[in-house]
Homo-oligomer: A and B are copies of this chain.
Amino acid sequence: MVESCDSDLAQRIASGDRRALAQAITLVESSRSDHRATALSLLEQLTSVRREALRIGLSGAPGVGKSTFIEAFGSMLIEAGLRVAVLAVDPSSSRSGGSILGDKTRMEQLSRNPNAFIRPSPSQTRLGGVARRTHEAAVLCEAAGFDAVLIETVGVGQSETLVAEMSDLFVLLIAPGGGDELQGIKRGIMEIADIILVNKADGNLKSAAVRTCADYAQALRLLRPRQQDPEGFPKAMAVSALNEEGLKEAWSEISALDGWRRRYGFRHRRRADQARKWFENEIHRGLVEQVTADRTVRNSMAELGALVAEGKLFPANAAAKLLRQISARLAQ
């Protein structure tokens, strides 16, 4: 599964070899420490490639037509001459073992296209772990020369924030609906969205989609203007993924926004902020691994953990005791 010679793997990725890319993603998803070391060395070598794709975060609740949209939108980008990678962050994978994009038949046409690369959500026990691997997979896709990386996720909450933290811009896909639903969308999600696409603007739902789009446009005007955006953003548009309508217009707005941000340095600044945050996360994870490698610490932890489980110590108090012990050991 994994190449022993990672400089060869790095070269194959940089030359756009899809099999090498798939292998490298398997490597970054692995929890084996030898795989991790190889993955780190690979990422280090690829730092010098310095290719950037446009990373588009994409989210929508179940039922809004996300797969149909990605299939149609991705195919359109490929027809326009781009190479497109699709990655996923599945907030439920900690329990179900990963369902987003688990089935490639969800995007049959796109998955068969030689200029597309589709990768399901990694399965990990923690959403943070899923996001970390997906972030590294996005970096690998960039090094392999993809022009656009779509990173999709489902629903409300933390997974959208995590995807926004690895994307250059964020697209929220919604379904046509009444005013109630507009209220239902949390303000926080509106605040991270750069473009809201009201899908299903076709058939019976067309007029509802146009109304919903106007409602969102109204709501977006109530948000305070953002320094990193040109006039008119964030923006709401109606599209039909089914009839492939409005997709070119959506891409044109996405390109306009990204072009503006690159020109004024906002894309670079956003990536720099994101990189710092990933760096901090990695440090935190590593520290825990390092300290719990000590056997005395592990034993204390087990004893205190037993008292906590019996309800004789409150978790935060037990943790405070253990931390004092660790300090004392380090001070020796």
Contact = CB atoms under 8 A, between A and B. Distances in A.
A215 interface: no
Nearest to A48: B312
Contact of A95 (B43, B191, B319): B191
For the complex formed by this chain, how many copies does it contain in all?
A: 2
Nearest to A50: B311
A319 B282 contact: yes
A322 B291 CA distance: 14
A276 B308 contact: yes
A283 interface: yes
A46 B313 CA distance: 10
Nearest to A313: B47
Interface string A38-72: 00100110110010000000000111000000000
Contact of A156 (B91, B139, B272, B301): B91
B275 A309 contact: yes
A80 B127 CA distance: 40
A62 B184 contact: yes
Interface string A297-311: 000010011001111
B156 A40 contact: no
Contact of A272 (B154, B180, B310): B310
Interface in A154-174: 154-159, 161
Contact of A159 (B158, B184, B312): B158
A96 interface: yes
Interface residues of A, number: 76
- Indicate the member of A272, A319, A330 with the most B CB atoms within 10 Å: A319
Interface string A222-238: 00000000000000000
A139 B61 CA distance: 33
Given A158-B157, A288-B284, A311 B279 contact: no
Given A279-B319, A314-B43, A161 B287 contact: no
A286 interface: yes
A317 B44 contact: yes
A136 B276 contact: no
Interface string A309-328: 11111111111101100110
Contacts of A3: none
B91 A158 contact: yes
A31 interface: no
A167 to B, nearest CB: 15
B286 A291 contact: no
8 contacts: A40-B317, A62-B156, A63-B184, A91-B156, A92-B156, A99-B188, A287-B323, A290-B323
Given A63-B181, A94-B161, A276-B309, 12 more contacts: A40-B317, A47-B313, A50-B311, A62-B156, A62-B183, A62-B184, A91-B188, A92-B156, A154-B157, A157-B157, A278-B315, A280-B305
A-B pairs, top 6 by smallest CB distance, nearest first, are A62-B184, A92-B188, A155-B156, A282-B319, A95-B188, A91-B157
